[in-house]
Structure 1
């Protein structure tokens, strides 16, 4: 009876859950994907920009009232979202392009870029929240400033620099574009670990560090990289703004160079005794080890004799057992 009651309870649960599952399957959500692109590669301070936004409904259900839900921006003024603010319907599988406008400001000039980022949603839900977010960067070229920092002694990537912290001299620092494709300049840290670049373009730069033997750079989020991103800003303080720790590591001993002189190799290895040298007319012979060869011959004879005795004893035991 208990088994029947349990089975009945299970059937009841399935009967209650199945209609809800079917209702969810019958009510799919729209899947909104959004991308954006600026109309120019570079802008001047105060210049108007236009961003073209492409919105696609990738699902099989219509999206009701697609609209702007929030975002962030920097280095821009007067952003007008147009239809993204008022909202619009988007049929299943349909694509729509809209435009937003604004102007770059002095912050964009200082930083080398401004940006606009935002997300969209539909009133009847969203199937994939990762696709409905977009951002675009608005570059402001022609602005330059200095950048400096310290490579200092530390045992972990989160070590903190102070004016009394010893530096690591002799570290090569190369500044490139953020994608690493354009080299701007290189510098070497001084006795205090200080490096400095003059007139780098404002914006993100990639700094790559090459430490001398016995040191390991601890850059990146977990200290596992030898490079880090830094931002150059115009009208900023000339004080160093990049701080990268490095720790001492063991230096592996150098291996013997193949080009070592033959005389050095000969003096490092012991020469065989003249009395042990085999005659050149005697053929290959046995290798000379410096041991008495007769000892090996005697040991071999004893081993053969012992083996013969063991075989005879084994045979006698087997005959005795069979008898």
Structure 2
């Protein structure tokens, strides 16, 4: 039995060798493509030029590299040039070609148009992940409003209806898609409605800050407080953004216990005198300090009164004797 099993294994290996050898003898080229527009912004009807860079990353020559299809929006008259006719590309070589076209009214309304396409070679493609490219053509100068609701929902998949309660007091900030330029901000009303005025057409980033007791459930899994939205000129004034929020517990701030006061040492007599003097001065205005010891004046006055009294008594006694 062992002899038969070994013979069978050898047979399988021998049968697989021709297929393996065929694969090794027929490797596929690996075409990578990138693209870039010639300007940062365009006007409606303006001609654009896209530079396409094609590289053969493999050790196999690519035969008849050509455009195989794609998609576009907001553009007219796209001409693919050499990408339509095709060209050979040697192993490790790089080639740049250009495609042209014009932006149209759809790009003006949306804030951008785009061109996306794929390339292939007649002798195959080793990696389909990097032979696709796209370019966005920005069309600036158009503005419109954008509105929506922040409503009460238990998950990111909650759906809004006209009867769904809203979440008031949510701050909504609209910025550029990269978050670097602020466009506008608004606060949701009692129904959870917000409206952002005069936003540029194109992609904007909306960031939501909920009041205490609420959590925004934006994003695919409800873990975000922001979402991308598209502003389109001449679009409907109806709210188009719907973001759920759920109630959460409000955590009370922790209070650190106050340290127990340590006993103060008894003040010395001199310190007590100083404290008494300080307390007296703080209680209200005192007598002006002139530098003279007032107690001496008080003693002298008392002595003078006593002497005067004695003299009066002596004088009266003498008067009585003289009269007698």
Cα shift at 1:239: 1.0
Q: Label 1:119 to 1:296 Cα distance change in 2 as closer, same or farther (>3 A).
A: farther
Looking at structure 2, the residues matched to 127 and 265 of structure 1 have their Cα atoms a distance apart, in angstroms, of: 85
SS at match of 1:262: coil
Q: State the partner residue of 1:40.
A: 39
Looking at structure 1, the residues matched to 191 and 90 of structure 2 have their Cα atoms a distance apart, in angstroms, of: 64
Q: Label 1:310 to 1:126 Cα distance change in 2 as closer, same or farther (>3 A).
A: farther
Looking at structure 2, the residues matched to 71 and 62 of structure 1 have their Cα atoms a distance apart, in angstroms, of: 24
Cα deviation per residue 1:240-290 (whole Å; 9 max; x = unaligned)? 110000011111122116789989999999999999999999999999999
Q: Label 1:215 to 1:21 Cα distance change in 2 as closer, same or farther (>3 A).
A: same
Which runs of no fewer than 5 residues in structure 2 stay unpaired? none
Cα deviation per residue 1:110-136 (whole Å; 9 max; x = unaligned)? 000000000000000001101100000
Cα deviation per residue 1:8-41 (whole Å; 9 max; x = unaligned)? 0000000111221122122110000001010111
Looking at structure 2, the residues matched to 299 and 27 of structure 1 have their Cα atoms a distance apart, in angstroms, of: 132
Looking at structure 2, the residues matched to 134 and 313 of structure 1 have their Cα atoms a distance apart, in angstroms, of: 133
SS at match of 2:271: coil
Q: Label 1:33 to 1:259 Cα distance change in 2 as closer, same or farther (>3 A).
A: farther
RMSD: 22.2
Q: Label 1:305 to 1:272 Cα distance change in 2 as closer, same or farther (>3 A).
A: farther
Cα deviation per residue 1:71-102 (whole Å; 9 max; x = unaligned)? 00000011011110111111111111111010
Q: State the partner residue of 1:322.
A: 323
Q: Label 1:193 to 1:258 Cα distance change in 2 as closer, same or farther (>3 A).
A: farther
**Would you say the 8 A contact 1:56–1:93 is kept in 2?**
yes
Runs ≥4 residues deviating over 3 A: 1-4, 257-323
Looking at structure 2, the residues matched to 307 and 158 of structure 1 have their Cα atoms a distance apart, in angstroms, of: 109
**Would you say the 8 A contact 1:34–1:134 is kept in 2?**
yes
**Would you say the 8 A contact 1:35–1:134 is kept in 2?**
yes
Looking at structure 2, the residues matched to 192 and 170 of structure 1 have their Cα atoms a distance apart, in angstroms, of: 10
Q: Label 1:305 to 1:116 Cα distance change in 2 as closer, same or farther (>3 A).
A: farther
Q: Label 1:41 to 1:307 Cα distance change in 2 as closer, same or farther (>3 A).
A: farther
TM-score normalised by the chain length of structure 1: 0.79
Q: State the partner residue of 2:286.
A: 285
Moved more, 283-292 or 71-80: 283-292
Which runs of no fewer than 5 residues in structure 1 stay unpaired? none
Q: Label 1:59 to 1:307 Cα distance change in 2 as closer, same or farther (>3 A).
A: farther
Q: Label 1:316 to 1:265 Cα distance change in 2 as closer, same or farther (>3 A).
A: farther
TM-score normalised by the chain length of structure 2: 0.79
**Would you say the 8 A contact 1:46–1:104 is kept in 2?**
yes
Q: How many residues align?
A: 322
Cα shift at 1:227: 0.5
